[in-house]
Amino acid sequence: MFAGVVPLGEEILQLKSQINALMARYSFLKPGMFFVDLETGNYLDISGDKVFSAASTAFSSDIV
């Protein structure tokens, strides 16, 4: 059960293998991700339990 709301189905292995291939090409990156298909409950989990800093926390008052 994800967040107590969505029952998890099966891991999406085909997508995971494609992401792992990209990660091998860019081994200097240490990504983490967790995606859930809300219709099926199938998911992708690559270091989804790790804590990461936000990619960008800058704020500009020029943005409208």
- In contact, 41 and 8? CB cutoff 8 Å: yes
DSSP 17-62: HHHHHHHHHTTT----EEEE-TTT--EEEESTTS----S-----TT
Task: Report helix, strand or coil for 43.
Answer: strand
57 occurs within a structural domain:
no
20 occurs within a structural domain:
yes
Split into its structural domains, the chain has a count of: 1
Q: For 7-46, what is each residue's pLDDT tens digit?
A: 899 999 999 999 999 999 998 988 888 889 988 999 999 9
Rounded to two decimals, the pTM is: 0.68
40 occurs within a structural domain:
yes
Counted residue by residue, the chain has a size of 64
51 occurs within a structural domain:
no
Host domain of residue 32: 13-46
